[in-house]
Amino acid sequence: MQTWQVVLLGLIEGLTEFIPVSSTGHLLLVGHFLGFNSPGKSFEVLIQLGAILAILTVYAAKLLRLLVDLPRDARTRKFVLAVLVAFLPAMVIGALAHGFIKSVLFETPMLICITLIVGGIILFIVDRLPLQPNTHDAMDIPLTTALAVGFFQCLAMIPGVSRSGSTIVGALLLGMSKRAATEFSFFLAMPTMAGAFAYDLYKNHGLLSLDDGLNIALGFAVSFVAGVFVVRYLLDFVSRHGFAPFAWWRILVGGIGLGALLVLG
């Protein structure tokens, strides 16, 4: 794998992980057309570590405040519990379906294109719905809502659906504001992505060579820098513009990918 390809994929990961367009779908499609095939599709999962560290860096002060307030503040404890509750469905279903996801779903670019397009249409429709949110702060999410959002997140095990997209759409439909839904998606990403990284490394470490490790390290570094940029500015962008720009992007990429597959194979 050439260095420019590693940099390109790392950039795609960092720029798309936290927006509702499916970073995995983008990585798999680009990898397909570049002829890149990592052992066990581990590169695409393991460079998420850069995006994980990006959100930890940007949210370091808030995470520290949560840690300090945890023993003495009931609202903080409820929020941390809500994040853990939302993470549970992905932890269980992801572990049980890991083999099928990696060997079947990750190997079906036509499916990815279709889910990008369908997901874009759904995101566009939900963005236009006259929803009346009752939760304006991610810290106030009810536990039942958090669990439901966790099940929505499991839809993202189908590449092209988008982890952030499924959680945000689910949260919006369940009564959260756009800003609160996006921020809760950030917090839920931390245990979810860390868990996916650790589990995939455990399952596939024997397939990785030194060159794979160097490529993953470079991809991680690039995704970290790009991820920091996105996390810093995404909430304000969503507050001003909503999710329609991401919906159109999904439809565009899915349409181009579908056309390329039909023409080129």
Confidence (pLDDT) at 91:
93
pLDDT in tens, 160-218: 999 999 999 999 999 999 999 999 998 999 999 888 878 877 877 676 676 777 888 89
Q: What is the mean pLDDT of residues 235-264?
A: 90
Higher pLDDT, 180 or 46: 180
Where is mean pLDDT largest: 31-35, 64-68, 107-111? 64-68
* Residue the block writes with tokens 């810093």: 232
Return the higher-pLDDT residue of 234 and 92.
92
pLDDT over 90 at 117, yes or no: yes
76 vs 213: which has the higher pLDDT: 76
pLDDT value for 107: 78
User: Tens digits of per-residue pLDDT, 251-264?
Assistant: 999 999 999 998 88
Q: What secondary structure does DSSP assign to the chain, as a single string? A: --HHHHHHHHHHHHHHTTTTT-HHHHHHHHHHHHT---GGGHHHHHTHHHHHHHHHHHTHHHHHHHHHHTTT-HHHHHHHHHHHHHHHHHHHHHHHHHHHHHHTGGG-HHHHHHHHHHHHHHHHHHHHS----SB-SGGG--HHHHHHHHHHHHGGGSTTS-HHHHHHHHHHHTTB-HHHHHHHHHHHHHHHHHHHHHHHHHHHGGG--HHHHHHHHHHHHHHHHHHHHHHHHHHHHHHHHTTHHHHHHHHHHHHHHHHHHHHH-
Model confidence at 44: pLDDT above 80: no
Instruction: Check if the beta carbon of residue 11 is closer than 8 Å to that of residue 222.
Output: yes
Q: pLDDT digits over 121-157, tens only?
A: 999 999 999 999 999 999 999 999 999 999 999 999 9
The angle formed by the CA atoms of residues 24, 27 and 30, to the nearest 5 degrees, is 145
CA–CA distance, 227 with 247 (Å, rounded to integer): 20
